[in-house]
A = this chain, B = another copy of it.
């Protein structure tokens, strides 16, 4: 079940990576690279920091699903772009899921709650940051003022808190993921924005 959810999240993130590739006019190789690292880059960073071989190197789905997503975008990107609003919903679901599973994995490796929350956020947002850096752009995460890392942080925090109180396993993951997803969804809906330092004008 987690595995299916995981691959769904990876698929959606890969679609977003491949679409970024179309926007910046990459060729087919660039689209595949961007789809792959957007989808599994966050998990790779988490696992490299934990000092273990990335899960993406032990599961064929983690490689094949991004390639399928890239192929779909390659042939049908106008249609996919039209579905973007619903894709953003799935992206929010992926964000929620990855911040929860990333935090859980870090806790199971014995990290402190503080550091597990950090790695949970890295898992959720790392792929998007790599996507932007590989596209030669500033990571949108850092300046676009959308609440993206903040819902991931609150989801990761929730999972760590539940874990410390002994609530573990799929239920805790689900609760944390739903919380992060809901916050992300509301942030998009209501146009909530992250603050800038005093006196700084918006760069968008």
A111 to B58, CA, bound (A): 7
B203 touches A24 (CB 8 A): yes
- Please tell me which stretch of A5-13, A74-82, A94-102, A159-167 contacts chain B, meaning at least 4 of its Cβ atoms lie within 8 angstroms of it: A74-82
A48 at the interface (CB under 8 A from B): yes
B138 touches A135 (CB 8 A): yes
A141 touches B33 (CB 8 A): yes
A143 to B20, CA, bound (A): 12
Chain B residues with CB under 8 A of A108: none
Known: A34-B142, A73-B197. A25 touches B133 (CB 8 A): no
A193 CB, min distance to chain B CBs, angstroms: 8
A142 touches B197 (CB 8 A): no
CB contacts under 8 Å to B, within A19-38, are 21-22, 24-31, 33-34
Known: A57-B115, A111-B57, A112-B60. A28 touches B196 (CB 8 A): yes
A92 CB, min distance to chain B CBs, angstroms: 16
Task: Please state the number of chain copies in the assembly.
Answer: 3
Chain B's closest residue to A22 (CB) is B197
Size of chain A's interface in residues, with CB distance under 8 A? 64
Known: A74-B198, A136-B137. A145 touches B115 (CB 8 A): no
A49 touches B54 (CB 8 A): yes
A44 to B50, CA, bound (A): 11
Chain B's closest residue to A115 (CB) is B57
Chain B's closest residue to A53 (CB) is B51
A150 at the interface (CB under 8 A from B): yes
A79 to B152, CA, bound (A): 32
A77 to B197, CA, bound (A): 8
A200 to B74, CA, bound (A): 10
A23 CB, min distance to chain B CBs, angstroms: 9
6 closest residue pairs by CB, A with B: A30-B142, A136-B138, A25-B203, A27-B194, A27-B145, A51-B53
A-B contact pairs, 8 of them (CB 8 A): A25-B200, A26-B203, A27-B142, A27-B143, A30-B142, A48-B48, A73-B197, A136-B137
